[in-house]
Amino acid sequence: ENNIVRPKGYKVSWHSNPEIEKHHFGHAHPMKPWRLTLAKGLIMSYGMHTAMDTYVSRLATREELEDFHSEDYLDYLKTAMVAMPDDETPKDYNLGGSDCPIFEGLFNYCSMYAGASIDAARKLCNNESDIAINWSGGLHHAKKAEASGFCYVNDIVLAILQLLRKHPRVLYIDIDVHHGDGVEEAFWSTDRVMTLSMHKYDGLNFFPGTGDLDRTGPDSEGNPGAHHAINVPLSDGINDEQYVWLFKTIVGRCVDKFQPTAIVLQCGADSLAGDRLGRFNVQVQGHGTCVAYCKSLNIPLLLVGGGGYTPRNVARAWAHETSIAIGCDADLDPLIPEHTPYREHFRHNTLFPTLEQILGEPRVNRNTKKKLDEIVSTITEQLRFVNA
Ligand code: ZLM
Ligand code: CA
Ligand code: ZN
């Protein structure tokens, strides 16, 4: 096993619990908590755990969950019947459908990934970490009293609420291929949280169907949340060069104007090329460059996971991004170590497979330069209304 040198005076904490990985959404469901096992195996085979403070996370308490979720929703989530066949389960709170099935241990699963994000946020609040990581979190669609899109409890909202105890302004950035609607909605009416989501948007078909460029916050006069929601709607096939340019340009301008004192980055890996549900041509390198850019801002940073439905690519991305957080990315051999568990899943034995290796034929890029320039100039205009 390799040993990574821990950079002096720079602290990264890794929050996880192996119990989370053992849950199953059901046969053929795209969300596979097991992808976390694959990612952890890769991270550890590079020896990266030796350069972080590692914590086995605990269950979020009822009281902590109630910071965002309603009591009746939490009651139902806790007692929802496992035995009932899918088609007989009542669809209360959007639970029990094919997207958000009720499965064994559901409430423990939710409490564990939420506990990890809350712990991670607290490490940032008391300056015990500069970057805190929870790859099992990032479940951005969950609402106050509703499950949505594979998400039941919104760990991101709970973590941001922790950060707001110490931090005047939090910037939330979401690079999952889906719109971060649950987080956006939770902080819709406050100017202490700016939400920025990049996502596939086609006005109708692609889940959750929201996130157009003109969705910028409440338009009621005098509402402090006005202009504090930022949405970057994208088309199929966007590549690394375009994606990273948009990310740096827009995040750079948001940071200049909003002056966040903490950043939460949702690193959904379904924006990668070859994802089972995604539509983009983003590669592990480009995805990681977004993390590196956030790190370079030297603002306390919470990294959470999110989507990601081709497990080998999820593992590659989150391992690479862990190495960026630690600062050992340049030292890693891109060839996946021989002793990596489940190495047979990495048919191309590199952290950075080419588009041809991933896809055979890359997806057609439907994003024109003109459209991307329009997005940047519209958001630049929007940010004229934002002050720190
Ligand atoms: N049908 N099985 C992203 C959340 C995306 C809603 C259309 C379900 C699926 C999908 C489930 C095994 C995040 C929708 C889809 C079929 C109504 C979505 C179970 C395949 C399967 O094979 C499947 C029987 C299932 C679900 C595909 N669902 C693809 N896309 C989205 C939710 C979550 O990545 O952003 C964060 C973790 N749901 O499009 C339907 C409208 C349900
Ligand atoms: Ca997104
Ligand atoms: Zn997603």
Region label for 143, one of left (φ > 0), alpha (ψ between -120 and 50) or beta (otherwise) = beta
Give CA–CA dist 139/159, Å, rounded.
Answer: 11
Peptide bond into 334 cis (omega under 30): no
Whether 297 maps to a domain, the answer reads yes
Whether 143 maps to a domain, the answer reads yes
- The CA dihedral of 186, 322, 235, 203, to the nearest 10 degrees, is -20
Whether 2 maps to a domain, the answer reads no
Domain count of the fold of the chain: 1
Q: How many angstroms does the Cα of residue 100 sit away from the middle of ligand 1?
A: 8
Q: Which ligand is nearest to the CA of 150?
A: 1
The pLDDT, as a whole number, for residue 83 is 47
Q: Which atom of ligand 1 is nearest to the CA of 27?
A: 12
Closest CA to 40 of 59, 23, 58, 15: 15
Q: What is the mean pLDDT of residues 167-195?
A: 98
Whether 3 maps to a domain, the answer reads no
The pLDDT, as a whole number, for residue 2 is 61
From the candidates 179, 199, 227, 228, which is the catalytic residue?
179
Q: What is the mean pLDDT of residues 339-359?
A: 97
Give CA–CA dist 154/333, Å, rounded.
Answer: 35
Whether 131 maps to a domain, the answer reads yes
Whether 221 maps to a domain, the answer reads yes
Q: What is the mean pLDDT of residues 182-204?
A: 97
Residue type, 205: N
The pLDDT, as a whole number, for residue 86 is 57
The domain of 236 spans: 13-383
Q: How many angstroms does the Cα of residue 159 sit away from the middle of ligand 3?
A: 19
- How much helix, strand and coil, in percent to the nearest 5, is found in the chain? 40, 15, 50
179 is catalytic: yes
For the chain, where are the E strands, in sequence order? Answer: 12-16, 53-56, 131-134, 170-174, 193-200, 229-234, 262-266, 301-304
Q: How many angstroms does the Cα of residue 50 sit away from the middle of ligand 3?
A: 30
Q: Can you say how many angstroms the Cα of residue 278 is from the centroid of all Cα atoms in its chain?
A: 14
- Between 82 and 210, residue with greater pLDDT: 210
Residues forming beta bridges with residue 281, ordered by sequence position: 239
Q: Can you say how many angstroms the Cα of residue 102 is from the centroid of all Cα atoms in its chain?
A: 22
pLDDT band of residue 3 (cuts 50, 70, 90) is: low
Whether 278 maps to a domain, the answer reads yes
Whether 5 maps to a domain, the answer reads no
pLDDT tens per residue across span 208-262: 999 999 999 998 888 999 999 999 999 999 999 999 999 999 999 999 999 999 9
For ligand 1, residues with CB inside 6 Å are 28-30, 98-99, 139-141, 149-151, 176, 178, 207, 268, 270, 277, 306-307
Query: Does residue 199 sit in helix, strand or coil?
Result: strand
Per the prediction, the chain carries an average pLDDT of 95
Which domain CATH number covers 327? 3.40.800.20
Q: Nearest 5 degrees, angle CA 371-CA 376-CA 382?
A: 125
